[in-house]
Protein backbone atom coordinates (compact mmCIF):
# COMPACT_ATOMS: atom_id res chain seq x y z
CA UNK A 1 0.00 0.00 0.00
CA UNK A 2 1.67 3.18 -1.21
CA UNK A 3 1.70 6.06 1.20
CA UNK A 4 1.52 9.71 0.28
CA UNK A 5 3.88 10.57 -2.55
CA UNK A 6 5.10 14.00 -3.62
CA UNK A 7 7.05 15.30 -6.58
CA UNK A 8 9.52 16.69 -7.19
CA UNK A 9 11.78 16.06 -4.20
CA UNK A 10 13.74 19.26 -4.61
CA UNK A 11 13.20 22.36 -6.68
CA UNK A 12 15.17 25.56 -7.19
CA UNK A 13 13.37 28.59 -8.61
CA UNK A 14 14.13 32.24 -9.12
CA UNK A 15 12.22 35.05 -7.44
CA UNK A 16 9.16 36.01 -9.49
CA UNK A 17 8.77 32.62 -11.12
CA UNK A 18 5.86 30.22 -10.70
CA UNK A 19 6.03 26.65 -9.35
CA UNK A 20 3.74 23.60 -9.29
CA UNK A 21 4.10 20.85 -6.72
CA UNK A 22 2.29 17.52 -6.95
CA UNK A 23 0.83 15.07 -4.44
CA UNK A 24 -0.75 11.65 -4.65
CA UNK A 25 -2.71 10.68 -1.53
CA UNK A 26 -2.56 7.42 0.35
CA UNK A 27 -4.71 4.72 -1.20
CA UNK A 28 -8.34 5.16 -0.17
CA UNK A 29 -7.92 8.76 0.98
CA UNK A 30 -9.91 11.50 -0.73
CA UNK A 31 -8.91 14.59 1.25
CA UNK A 32 -5.61 16.39 0.68
CA UNK A 33 -4.10 19.15 2.80
CA UNK A 34 -1.02 21.24 2.05
CA UNK A 35 1.39 22.66 4.61
CA UNK A 36 4.41 24.93 4.47
CA UNK A 37 7.26 24.13 6.85
CA UNK A 38 9.97 26.76 7.18
CA UNK A 39 13.34 25.64 8.49
CA UNK A 40 13.16 24.96 12.22
CA UNK A 41 9.42 25.59 12.41
CA UNK A 42 6.27 23.52 12.61
CA UNK A 43 4.13 23.01 9.51
CA UNK A 44 1.68 25.81 8.69
CA UNK A 45 -1.66 24.92 7.09
CA UNK A 46 -2.11 26.32 3.58
CA UNK A 47 -5.39 24.76 2.41
CA UNK A 48 -7.37 21.55 2.10
CA UNK A 49 -9.11 19.96 -0.88
CA UNK A 50 -12.05 17.58 -0.87
CA UNK A 51 -14.25 16.60 -3.80
CA UNK A 52 -12.11 18.81 -6.05
CA UNK A 53 -12.93 21.93 -4.08
CA UNK A 54 -10.98 24.01 -1.59
CA UNK A 55 -12.68 23.30 1.71
CA UNK A 56 -10.54 25.28 4.14
CA UNK A 57 -7.73 27.81 3.85
CA UNK A 58 -5.05 29.09 6.17
CA UNK A 59 -3.50 32.55 6.27
CA UNK A 60 -1.72 32.43 2.94
CA UNK A 61 -2.01 34.97 0.11
CA UNK A 62 -3.80 34.31 -3.16
CA UNK A 63 -0.44 33.61 -4.78
CA UNK A 64 -0.94 30.15 -3.31
CA UNK A 65 -3.56 28.16 -5.18
CA UNK A 66 -4.37 24.54 -5.64
CA UNK A 67 -6.31 21.95 -7.49
CA UNK A 68 -7.60 18.46 -6.85
CA UNK A 69 -8.21 15.99 -9.65
CA UNK A 70 -10.92 13.30 -9.91
CA UNK A 71 -8.37 10.67 -8.83
CA UNK A 72 -7.85 12.71 -5.61
CA UNK A 73 -4.31 13.76 -6.49
CA UNK A 74 -3.56 17.41 -5.95
CA UNK A 75 -1.35 20.27 -7.08
CA UNK A 76 -0.08 23.30 -5.21
CA UNK A 77 0.75 26.34 -7.33
CA UNK A 78 2.68 29.33 -6.12
CA UNK A 79 2.93 32.44 -8.30
CA UNK A 80 5.34 35.36 -8.12
CA UNK A 81 7.75 33.49 -5.86
CA UNK A 82 9.39 35.37 -3.01
CA UNK A 83 12.56 34.46 -1.15
CA UNK A 84 10.37 33.80 1.89
CA UNK A 85 8.55 31.03 0.05
CA UNK A 86 11.63 28.84 0.46
CA UNK A 87 10.45 25.94 2.63
CA UNK A 88 9.52 22.29 2.76
CA UNK A 89 6.03 21.84 1.31
CA UNK A 90 4.16 18.92 2.80
CA UNK A 91 1.10 17.17 1.53
CA UNK A 92 -1.09 15.17 3.89
CA UNK A 93 -4.01 12.92 3.06
CA UNK A 94 -6.94 11.73 5.12
CA UNK A 95 -10.54 10.62 5.01
CA UNK A 96 -13.06 13.45 5.48
CA UNK A 97 -14.44 12.07 8.73
CA UNK A 98 -11.06 11.03 10.11
CA UNK A 99 -8.74 13.29 12.08
CA UNK A 100 -5.63 11.27 11.26
CA UNK A 101 -3.50 12.79 8.53
CA UNK A 102 -0.66 10.98 6.78
CA UNK A 103 2.17 13.12 5.49
CA UNK A 104 4.31 12.72 2.42
CA UNK A 105 8.08 13.28 2.39
CA UNK A 106 7.69 16.84 1.16
CA UNK A 107 9.10 18.96 -1.64
CA UNK A 108 12.02 21.21 -0.71
CA UNK A 109 11.59 24.51 -2.58
CA UNK A 110 14.46 26.96 -2.69
CA UNK A 111 13.85 30.43 -4.13
CA UNK A 112 16.96 32.37 -5.12
Partner 1 sequence: QQQVKQSPQSLIVQKGGISIINCAYENTAFDYFPWYQQFPGKGPALLIAIRPDVSEKKEGRFTISFNKSAKQFSLHIMDSQPGDSATYFCAAIPYNFNKFYFGSGTKLNVKP
- Asked if residue 101 binds partner 1 (CB under 8 A), the reply is yes
User: 92, 68, 96, 71: which is closest to 6 by C-alpha?
Assistant: 92
Q: Does 1 bind partner 1 (CB under 8 A)?
A: no
Question: Cβ–Cβ contacts within 10 Å for residue 83, how many?
Answer: 9
Q: Give the residue, chosen from 25, 43, 72, 85, that forms a contact with partner 1 under the rule CB under 8 A.
A: 43
Q: Is 90 in the site for partner 1 (CB under 8 A)?
A: yes
Interaction between residue 48 and partner 1 (CB under 8 A): yes
The answer to whether 95 and 27 have CB atoms below 8 angstroms apart is no
- The one segment of 11-19, 60-68, 79-87, 90-98 that binds partner 1 by CB under 8 A: 90-98
Which of 21, 81, 87, 104 is in the footprint of partner 1 by CB under 8 A? 104
Q: How many angstroms separate the CA atoms of 23 and 81, rounded?
A: 20
Angle at 36 between CA 14 and CA 19, to 5 degrees: 30
Residue 73 binds partner 1 (CB under 8 A): no
Note whether 25 binds partner 1 by CB under 8 A: no
Amino acid sequence: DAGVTQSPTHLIKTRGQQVTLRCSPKSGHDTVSWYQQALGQGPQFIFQYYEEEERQRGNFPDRFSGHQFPNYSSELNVNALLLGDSALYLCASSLPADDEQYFGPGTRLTVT
